[in-house]
Structure 1
């Protein structure tokens, strides 16, 4: 079983620089609420790092272009999926967009996990 987090941005250094610029200049209009919840302008938030290390299951983090190339599927991004043979959405873009802070995101992911995870 693997959790897959798909960010609403493209991979690559130029895209990364554009994302940083957007976060600095106009953070309220930044297109990826998942990235805003899990990362500061330049790095991953400490609380997110701790959660990733503690969850006890594999996690995959992909940009939308990487996800679509690897899995041949398209969704509305960002989103969080669980892959266990099949693939199912555990948190949609709309659900992620409504989350107010990192603690609520972590709580939502934990609630979506099977009890034995």
Structure 2
């Protein structure tokens, strides 16, 4: 089974989400999760990002720092992994995510990375 997995540089839960939203508004330059910044607004997931995620032909999962399974490779967060029967591979690094200026850049990056791992099959 193939799976695309994103890991936020944030903790889960309603309270943490509220604090993150406030942080993004009051001091966006110091907010640590660029994945959150690009894919979420104040009240929910960006519509373009949601449409893109639902259009993919593989399952997509999102984890926070405090709910990430222990078997994941070590990495700097936020980032993205690709899971196959052979294991879990980092496909998008923190630096690559930070280079995305908006959701369209992120969609292009994810599309490029998925095409590359598909070619490797």
TM-score, scaled relative to structure 2: 0.88
Q: Residue 10 of structure 1 aligns to a residue in which SS?
A: coil
Unmatched tracts of structure 1, length 5 or more: none
Q: CA deviation at 1:22?
A: 0.3
Superposition RMSD in Å: 1.5
Match of 2:77 in 1: 77
Match of 1:19 in 2: 20
Q: CA deviation at 1:89?
A: 0.7
Unmatched tracts of structure 2, length 5 or more: none
Query: Aligned pairs, how many?
Result: 114
1:21-70 Cα shifts (integer Å, max 9, x gaps): 10121112111000111111221001001101111110011101111xx2
Write out aligned runs for 1:1-117 (5 A). 1-67=2-68, 70-73=69-72, 74-85=74-85, 86-113=87-114, 114-115=118-119
**Structure 1: how far apart are the matches of 2:17 and 2:42?**
11
Q: Residue 71 of structure 1 aligns to a residue in which SS?
A: coil
TM-score, scaled relative to structure 1: 0.90
Q: CA deviation at 1:71?
A: 3.3
Q: CA deviation at 1:72?
A: 3.4
